[in-house]
């Protein structure tokens, strides 16, 4: 039976037409189970009923016609209960409904099981028999197993079928769903962009002429670097923020000290240029895809795009230019930041990527450019979408295919309303973030997309709440030197000379490994990472801290933040090392400056040794020990706040990881990602407790996570008492607008009610109602 089951599922998946697949499947199941009838009903949530789609045993004329309400009949009962229903004589059951058109009067035994995909009932699979009997346990087990395996295939098949339909506006337009990558609305024609080269298709071959192959690669690198310089230059005319630093990642990887060196090494071993590139790129991709942190996992997309562009240039292919309409929506299997940059000045209205998340560089760049984006749309539909008319709703992640006139008019109106709101937001971005009754909260930036840093002062951020230091460590073959780190950190600190810049110490580990420092663990999410790894390797930690201290000299706006803290022992040890680095560096600076002054004085004899030492001490006095804080992201810290407050200068909640740990959910796992919700009552209670305790112990507290960038989240954090919140640059003016249009009293009332609710669904519903009543609905949906 196992072989039969696999064959049925395989045949269903391979059939191009949904109706044919359903008809073939019911025939196969009836034959395999030796029953008199097999039928499948699909759920229509718009009409709230199950529609008989295919049957081998019921009247042919009823297929596609007979509807059973979600709360009606045995089929409806199976859907309601979400479990199998095995009845010896169905016609005697209290929920049985007689439907003459299906001609089932001769059938008595009934076994029905729901087809469920991601907690949603897609349909009901049922078998019937003339004999009055209960189906066996083996029959039930077979049907349940088949339904479970069909669920995913059926979900994909329904989407394929949807795209082939040209529904009119009276039928109610259906839509595809993805991840909301960047807010906004776009209406236009979809243009599909296919890769011009495929690394997967490259055969691994060797060449006797390594010098020739190396020359081919070097020429491809230079051509690719030139292309990236052009894209970066075009972008700089449109935006001026951290998003531009994305292209530093590409350019750094091309350097001989990084990816280029690895490819050259493979070529020296005899591999052809394209084969060497394939080996190196696929190794990098596998490393990044294994990372549990979604932000860093998305870098695999950048590596893949870089490899494709290099391969095109190695193969010396002529660039195929897409024939573009005046305005269009870009669709690709994996939209990269470079693709967005390439088309943003050619009439690009929006972006659809069949893979990726809202942490991808493409989504980040789209947000900076004000382009709506939807990520992670079902991956089976690429070829069918070219030149289709569509609407992108970047707020909800909905993609409408071939919309009717009514829907188009509705979204055109919403788009005009959205522009009005955007203009209003930008106009007040420079104003302070303060409520109508005088309560202030600082809105800061999250940064660290790459080694570079750009900032648009017009967005109104008051410093950096989280600067990630991992990227410069990841795009290399060895740990960066103290001098290299100092130069980088200095540039970042100089952007906000009058405001604080919080730099997180190296946060890598088993789920975020470095190419030159591999870590293999069975459970990296709970393993050797963050502060644990840097305390075990103080030589890494001390070099980074020294670089930060050097960079801070004379500016004094640095704040150091320690990640993944789970107890006071880690804080004590980290502070001991920070103090050690500070005093050692202070002594070294005094000696260095004294030596320099004496060397210069020997030429003219103006300074004595004592005078030189005094001047050196005055200069080294500019080296100030910065504030040190910790990230609150491991649940254990909730119960150690008093002890921690005695040791640190500030707290910063990492709401993304805290949510994952509290709910035991990996948000990158599609099977459980829907359980990840920062508005879960347990998470809100924990966040409120942290804020109350920090106030009790007189320790400032901030939050850096996606929750802060959501209007409802910012309101709740304000009411809880958070001093600062940080987010990406695109959301800064939006959140400032929200805060400026409420009172602190209103925020507290909303929080008090939200904390009494018992499910995340209730919380979302209540918060959305409150935002609408406050006139802020335009920040959570299309329109004003």
Which residues does the annotation mark as catalytic?
A: 361, 704
Give the pair of three-digit tokens for residue 118. 């991601």
Number of Cα atoms under 13 Å in the Cβ half of residue 126: 33
Identify the three-state secondary structure at position 102.
helix
- Show Cβ contacts of residue 699 under 8 Å, excluding neighbours closer than 6 positions: 645, 648, 649, 650, 651
Q: For the range 211-219, what are the long-range contacts, defined as Cβ-Cβ under 8 Å and sequence gap of 24 or more?
A: 213/267, 213/271, 213/272, 213/273, 213/276, 214/264, 214/267, 214/268, 214/273, 216/273, 216/314, 217/260, 217/263, 217/264, 217/267, 217/273, 217/276, 217/277, 217/310, 217/314, 219/313
Which of 678, 653, 651 is closest to 667 using CA atoms? 678
Q: How far apart are CA 24 and CA 18, in angstroms?
A: 10
Q: What are phi and psi of 331, to 5 degrees?
A: -130, 135
Partner residues linked to 514 by β-bridges:
517
HSE of 595, CA atoms in CB hemisphere, 13 A: 6
- Cα–Cα distance for residue pair 288/307, rounded to 1 Å: 14
Q: Count of alpha carbons within 13 Å of 548, Cβ hemisphere only?
A: 28
Asked if residues 634 and 564 have their Cβ atoms less than 8 Å apart, the reply is yes
Residue 372, phi then psi, degrees to nearest 5: -65, 145
Helix (H) or strand (E) holding 726: strand 724-727
| Three-state DSSP state, 149 | helix
Tokens matching residue 636: 């254990």
The answer to whether residues 359 and 298 touch, using CB atoms and an 8 Å cutoff, is: yes
Q: Which two tokens stand for residue 553?
A: 């000299």
Q: Which helix (H) or strand (E) holds 340?
A: helix 337-343
* Dmax (CA) of the chain: 117
Which residues on neighbouring strands pair with residue 461, listed in sequence order?
none
Pair of tokens at residue 704: 């850096």
- Determine the Cα–Cα distance for residues 540 and 478; give it in Å rounded to an integer: 11
**In 476-579, at which residue ranges do the beta strands (DSSP E only) sit?**
501-504, 558-562
User: What length does the chain have?
Assistant: 784
d(CA 407, CA 306): 39
Classify residue 317 as exposed, middle or buried by CB count within 10 Å of its CB (0-12, 13-18, 19+). exposed
């Amino acid at each position: 039976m196992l072989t039969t089951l696999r064959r049925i599922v395989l045949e269903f998946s391979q059939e191009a037409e949904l109706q044919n697949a359903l008809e073939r499947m019911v025939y196969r199941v009836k034959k395999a189970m030796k029953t008199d009838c097999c039928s499948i009903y699909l759920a229509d949530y718009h009409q709230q009923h199950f529609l008989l789609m295919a049957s081998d045993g019921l009247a042919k004329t009823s297929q596609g016609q007979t509807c059973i309400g979600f709360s009606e009949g045995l089929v409806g009962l199976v859907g309601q209960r979400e479990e199998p229903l095995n009845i010896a004589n169905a016609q005697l059951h209290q929920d049985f409904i007689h439907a003459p058109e299906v001609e089932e009067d001769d059938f008595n035994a009934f076994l029905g099981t729901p087809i469920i995909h991601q907690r949603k009932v897609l349909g009901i699979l049922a078998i019937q028999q003339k004999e009055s009997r209960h189906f066996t346990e083996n029959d039930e087990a077979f049907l349940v197993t088949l339904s479970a395996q069909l669920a995913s295939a059926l979900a994909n098949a329904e989407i394929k079928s949807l795209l082939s339909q040209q529904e009119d506006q009276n039928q109610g337009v259906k839509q595809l769903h993805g991840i909301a990558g960047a807010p906004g609305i776009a209406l236009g024609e979809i243009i599909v962009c296919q890769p011009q080269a495929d690394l997967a298709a490259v055969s691994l071959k060797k060449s006797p002429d390594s010098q020739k192959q190396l020359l081919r690669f070097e020429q491809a690198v230079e051509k690719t670097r030139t292309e990236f310089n052009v894209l970066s230059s075009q972008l700089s005319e449109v935006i001026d923020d951290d998003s531009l630093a994305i292209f530093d990642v590409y350019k750094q990887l091309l350097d001989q000290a990084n990816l280029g060196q690895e490819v050259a090494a493979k070529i020296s071993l005899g591999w052809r240029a394209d084969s060497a590139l394939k080996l190196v790129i696929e190794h990098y991709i596998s490393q990044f895809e294994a990372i549990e942190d979604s932000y860093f996992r998305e870098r695999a997309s950048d590596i893949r795009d870089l490899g494709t562009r290099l391969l095109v240039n190695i193969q010396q292919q002529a660039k195929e230019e897409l024939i573009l309409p005046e305005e269009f929506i870009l669709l690709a299997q994996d939209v990269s930041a470079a693709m967005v940059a390439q088309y943003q000045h050619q009439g690009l209205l929006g972006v659809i990527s069949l893979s990726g998340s809202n942490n991808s560089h493409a989504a980040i760049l789209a947000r900076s450019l004000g382009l709506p984006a939807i990520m992670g749309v079902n991956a089976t539909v690429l070829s069918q979408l070219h030149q289709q008319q569509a609407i992108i709703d970047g707020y909800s992640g909905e993609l409408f295919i071939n919309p009717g006139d009514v829907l188009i008019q509705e979204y055109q109106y919403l788009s005009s309303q959205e522009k009005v709101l955007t203009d209003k937001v930008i106009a007040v971005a420079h104003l302070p973030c303060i409520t109508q009754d005088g309560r202030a909260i600082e809105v800061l930036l999250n940064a660290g997309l790459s080694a570079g840093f750009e900032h648009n002062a017009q967005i109104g951020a008051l410093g950096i709440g989280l600067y990630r230091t991992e990227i410069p460590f990841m795009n290399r073959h060895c740990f960066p030197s103290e001098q290299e780190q100092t130069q980088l950190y200095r540039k970042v600190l100089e952007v906000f000379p009058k405001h604080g810049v919080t730099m997180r110490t190296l946060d890598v580990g088993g789920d975020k490994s470095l190419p030159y420092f591999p870590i293999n663990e069975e459970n990296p999410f709970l393993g050797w990472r963050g502060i644990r790894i840097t305390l075990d390797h103080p030589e890494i930690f001390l070099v980074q801290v020294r670089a930060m201290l050097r960079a801070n000299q004379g500016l004094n706006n640095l704040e150091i933040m320690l990640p993944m803290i789970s107890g006071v022992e880690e804080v004590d040890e980290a502070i001991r090392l920070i103090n050690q680095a500070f005093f050692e560096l202070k002594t070294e600076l005094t000696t260095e400056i004294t030596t320099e002054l004496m060397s210069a004085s020997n030429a003219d004899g103006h300074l004595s040794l004592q005078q030189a030492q005094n001047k050196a001490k005055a200069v080294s006095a500019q080296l100030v020990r910065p504030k040190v804080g910790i990230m609150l992201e491991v649940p254990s810290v909730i119960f150690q706040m008093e002890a921690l407050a005695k040791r640190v200068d500030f707290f910063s909640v990492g709401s993304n990881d805290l949510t994952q740990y509290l709910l035991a959910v990996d948000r990158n796992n599609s099977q459980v990602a829907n359980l990840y919700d920062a508005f879960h009552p347990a998470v809100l209670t924990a966040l409120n407790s942290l804020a109350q305790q920090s106030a009790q112990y007189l320790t400032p507290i901030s939050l850096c996570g996606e929750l802060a960038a959501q209007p409802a989240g910012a309101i709740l954090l304000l009411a809880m008492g958070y001093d600062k919140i940080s987010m990406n640059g695109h959301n800064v003016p939006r959140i400032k607008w929200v805060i400026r249009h409420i009172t602190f009293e209103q925020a507290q009332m909303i929080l008090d009610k939200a904390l009494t609710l018992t499910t995340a669904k209730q919380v979302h519903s209540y918060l959305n109602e409150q935002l609408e009543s406050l006139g802020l609905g335009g920040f959570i949906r299309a329109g004003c």
